[in-house]
């Protein structure tokens, strides 16, 4: 008896998923634990492993389809069982037209004597069905591929349900020969009179891009944060001169291939120590009460493709600088490769966001709800500073702490960020 494979819950906040790539085809043998399908969730792209063995007899959800948790996406039958049809989702059949009543002899005579109608024009190729808002119906994967290859979805015929454009349609259009280009010297088409005056054409052509699950989640959470969490900001400047010297010594002493802690790794470690000393900053506001966490898990914002991802360094207060450096680099690499897993993106109690590598001097970040605060870190710059009564050149790094006023008050936040500053200015304390 065939077993249904349903859209799995791959993260705690997942409500629906998008089929990105089937790793097995109808008729293939599937063992329990085999990689079956790649699914885009609200946190990452994940590969789902089959929980039963047999033969993949039917793929119900095509690539690019978005389905809620629990919906059937495929069926696995007994070993050796033949696939049903071509394995694709069955298309709804068009209802047959009602039979016409028989014509009377008089009607037949009149029709025979009537002049013949002109031949009907050739049937036009199918056009993609527009969505309710006037946009062309296409799967997110199809839109992404079309954008990458510079293809116009409006010029394609959709073969999916309801005329929806799917991945195969885009690949077919990409493989088709390009339309002949006009000969040099040919006069361009005259613009429509008054086109420049119409508001809908003043901005030129308009294209649309569907948000991925992760982008939608980031947009929703950031909007909720600004709308519900009363932000206030505390800015300090950190003299990183001794930290620069300490990192230079660490780099000189590092063996070949051994990771050298970055300044951001130092910020993560300093934040973790300060969080241990200021537990309210390591909490959250939920349902009218405070949650204080025993573990200190620092999220590190990483710029991924077209979005922002925050993997977590767990128990950062208990780890040395080199351990944090090794783990942070591995997490960032998995983010960029798209192999990061939901558990690695969960459990954060505080976040560090660093844009210094882009030359940003300072900025204010949006709190990652329901956390109490987020630390925004700018670029280190050589700046005159007063040291022992003399003006010398120092390496100054700006930091801005965004606080949720429901958890942290001004004095609480000030003491917390000042502790981070002191730890960075005397980096020997980071070895604790």
pLDDT tier, 243 (very low <50, low <70, confident <90, very high otherwise) = very high
Q: pLDDT, tens digit, for every residue of 138-174?
A: 776 777 788 778 888 888 888 765 677 877 888 888 8
pLDDT tier, 17 (very low <50, low <70, confident <90, very high otherwise) = confident
pLDDT tier, 9 (very low <50, low <70, confident <90, very high otherwise) = confident
Instruction: Classify residue 180: in a domain, yes or no.
Output: no
The pLDDT of residue 162 is 63
pLDDT tier, 78 (very low <50, low <70, confident <90, very high otherwise) = confident
What is the C-alpha to C-alpha distance for residues 432 and 276, in angstroms, rounded to an integer? 12
The pLDDT of residue 187 is 56
Q: pLDDT, tens digit, for every residue of 305-347?
A: 777 889 999 999 999 999 999 999 999 999 888 788 888 988 9
Q: Which of 133-137, 186-190, 287-291, 378-382: highest mean pLDDT?
A: 378-382
pTM, two decimal places: 0.64
Percent with pLDDT over 70 in the chain? 80
- Mean pLDDT estimate for the chain: 82
Catalytic residue chosen out of the listed positions 405, 414, 415, 429: 405
Q: pLDDT, tens digit, for every residue of 396-415?
A: 999 999 999 999 999 999 99
Mean pLDDT for 346-373 is: 94
Burial track 63-95 (b if 16+ CB lie within 10 A, e otherwise): bbbbbeeeeebbbbbeeebebeeebbbeeeeee
Pairing of strands 66-68, 54-59: unpaired
Would the pLDDT of 192 be above 70? no
What is the C-alpha to C-alpha distance for residues 153 and 172, in angstroms, rounded to an integer? 12
Instruction: Classify residue 283: in a domain, yes or no.
Output: yes
pLDDT tier, 127 (very low <50, low <70, confident <90, very high otherwise) = low
Judge whether 16 and 45 are in contact, CB under 8 Å.
no
The domain boundary residue, chosen from 58, 77, 96: 77
The pLDDT of residue 184 is 55
CATH of the domain at 37: 2.40.50.100
Would the pLDDT of 112 be above 50? no
Q: Which residue has the higher pLDDT, 135 or 271?
A: 271
Q: Name the region of 338 (left: φ>0; alpha: ψ -120 to 50; beta: rest).
A: left
Instruction: Classify residue 50: in a domain, yes or no.
Output: yes
231 catalytic? Reply is no
Instruction: Classify residue 32: in a domain, yes or no.
Output: yes
Q: How big is the chain by its Cα radius of gyration, in Å?
A: 30
Instruction: Classify residue 242: in a domain, yes or no.
Output: yes
Number of domains in the chain: 2
Q: pLDDT, tens digit, for every residue of 279-314?
A: 999 999 988 899 999 999 999 999 877 778 899 999
CATH of the domain at 256: 3.30.559.10
Instruction: Classify residue 86: in a domain, yes or no.
Output: no
Q: pLDDT, tens digit, for every residue of 336-348?
A: 887 888 889 889 9
Mean pLDDT for 205-224 is: 83
Q: Which residue has the higher pLDDT, 385 or 107?
A: 385
The domain boundary residue, chosen from 77, 110, 143: 77
Least confident among 67-76, 85-94, 398-407: 85-94
The domain boundary residue, chosen from 54, 77, 100: 77
What is the C-alpha to C-alpha distance for residues 153 and 378, in angstroms, rounded to an integer? 41
What is the C-alpha to C-alpha distance for residues 229 and 374, in angstroms, rounded to an integer? 12
Closest CA to 400 of 232, 262, 260: 232
Percent with pLDDT over 90 in the chain? 42
Instruction: Classify residue 313: in a domain, yes or no.
Output: yes
What is the C-alpha to C-alpha distance for residues 38 and 239, in angstroms, rounded to an integer? 47
Instruction: Classify residue 407: in a domain, yes or no.
Output: yes
Strands (E), 281-389: 283-286, 289-292, 298-300, 302-304, 307-309, 312-313, 350-354, 373-377, 381-387
Mean pLDDT for 83-105 is: 46
Q: Which residue has the higher pLDDT, 97 or 385?
A: 385
Judge whether 271 and 324 are in contact, CB under 8 Å.
no
What is the C-alpha to C-alpha distance for residues 128 and 409, in angstroms, rounded to an integer? 56
Residue 237's domain spans which residues?
213-431
The pLDDT of residue 271 is 98
Instruction: Specify whether 251 is located in the same domain as 396.
Output: yes
Would the pLDDT of 125 be above 90? no
Would the pLDDT of 180 be above 80? no
């Amino acid at each position: 008896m065939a077993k249904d494979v349903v859209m799995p819950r791959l993260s705690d906040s997942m409500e629906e998923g998008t089929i990105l790539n089937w790793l097995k085809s109808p008729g293939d043998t599937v063992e329990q634990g085999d990689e079956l399908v790649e699914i885009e969730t609200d946190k990452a792209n994940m590969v789902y492993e089959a929980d039963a063995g047999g033969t993949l007899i039917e793929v119900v959800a095509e690539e690019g389809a978005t389905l809620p948790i629990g919906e059937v996406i495929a069926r696995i039958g007994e070993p050796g069982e033949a696939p049903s049809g071509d394995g694709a989702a069955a298309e709804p059949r068009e209802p047959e037209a009602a039979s016409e009543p028989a014509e009377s002899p008089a009607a037949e005579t009149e029709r025979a004597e009537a002049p013949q109608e002109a031949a009907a024009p050739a049937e036009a190729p199918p056009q993609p069905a527009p969505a309710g808002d006037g946009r062309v119906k296409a799967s997110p994967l199809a839109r992404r591929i079309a954008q990458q290859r510079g293809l116009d979805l409006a010029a394609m015929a959709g073969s999916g349900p309801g005329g929806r454009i799917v991945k195969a349609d885009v690949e077919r259009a990409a493989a088709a020969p390009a339309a002949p280009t006009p000969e040099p010297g040919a006069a361009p088409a005259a613009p429509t009179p008054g086109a420049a005056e119409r508001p809908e054409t003043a901005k030129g052509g308009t294209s649309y891009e569907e948000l991925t699950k992760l982008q939608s989640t980031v947009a929703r959470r950031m909007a909720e944060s600004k709308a519900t969490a009363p932000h206030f900001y505390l800015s300090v400047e950190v003299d990183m001169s001794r930290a620069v010297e300490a990192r230079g010594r660490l780099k000189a002493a590092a063996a070949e291939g051994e990771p050298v802690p970055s300044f951001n790794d130092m910020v993560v470690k300093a934040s973790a120590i300060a969080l241990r000393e200021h537990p309210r900053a390591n909490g959250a506001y939920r349902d009218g009460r405070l949650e204080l966490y025993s573990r200190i898990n620092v999220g590190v914002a990483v710029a991924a493709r077209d979005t922002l991802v925050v993997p977590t360094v767990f128990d950062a207060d208990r780890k040395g600088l080199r351990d944090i450096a090794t783990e942070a680099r591995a997490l960032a690499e998995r983010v960029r490769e798209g192999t990061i897993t939901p558990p690695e993106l969960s459990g954060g109690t505080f976040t560090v966001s660093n844009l210094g590598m882009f030359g940003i001097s300072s900025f204010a970040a949006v709190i990652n709800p329901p956390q109490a605060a987020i630390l925004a870190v700018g670029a280190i710059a050589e700046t005159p500073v007063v040291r022992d009564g003399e003006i010398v050149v120092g390496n100054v790094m700006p930091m801005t702490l965004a606080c949720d006023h429901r958890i942290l008050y001004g004095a609480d936040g000030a003491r917390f960020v000042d502790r981070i500053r002191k730890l960075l200015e005397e980096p020997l304390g980071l070895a604790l």
